[in-house]
Amino acid sequence: GAVVSQHPSRVICKSGTSVKIECRSLDFQATTMFWYRQFPKQSLMLMATSNEGSKATYEQGVEKDKFLINHASLTLSTLTVTSAHPEDSSFYICSALPSPSLWDKNQNANTGELFFGEGSRLTVL
């Protein structure tokens, strides 16, 4: 199956520093990736849609200047949490949508099936 890798899996940083999280699709190309945040016992909250070669689309209430997203290639999207504060501590998960040309011919192209990374747990001290 398709594999999405996130790095780092865990990161601890001091308040005020910036942290970069990488999301890579290892065996497929993804023009679209998504970033989620999940607090303990809460749902995955969609933060933004990352589009290769263009600006990310942020969900309402998500600060684009605080959560910088770059999708410079078809296999890599990065999320940078700038000037992190303790309230930014969370589990950040990315997902990737395989580009249509690489979908299995038996798949329904409209399902929008996603492949998730393993998640990155950020702790801000």
Partner 1 sequence: QKEVEQNSGPLSVPEGAIASLNCTYSDRGSQSFFWYRQYSGKSPELIMFIYSNGDKEDGRFTAQLNKASQYVSLLIRDSQPSDSATYLCAVKRGSTLGRLYFGRGTQLTVWP
Element (H, E) at 63: none
State in angstroms the smallest separation of the CB of 1 from partner 1.
10
Smallest gap from Cβ 18 to partner 1, in A, equals 23
CA-CA distances (angstroms) from residue 18 to 53, 65, 99, 110?
23, 12, 31, 37
Q: Which is nearer to partner 1, 18 or 42 (CB)?
A: 42
Please report how close the Cβ of residue 14 comes to partner 1 at its closest, in angstroms.
24
Beta bridge partners of 116: 95
User: Which residue, 50 or 78, is less far from partner 1 as judged by CB?
Assistant: 50
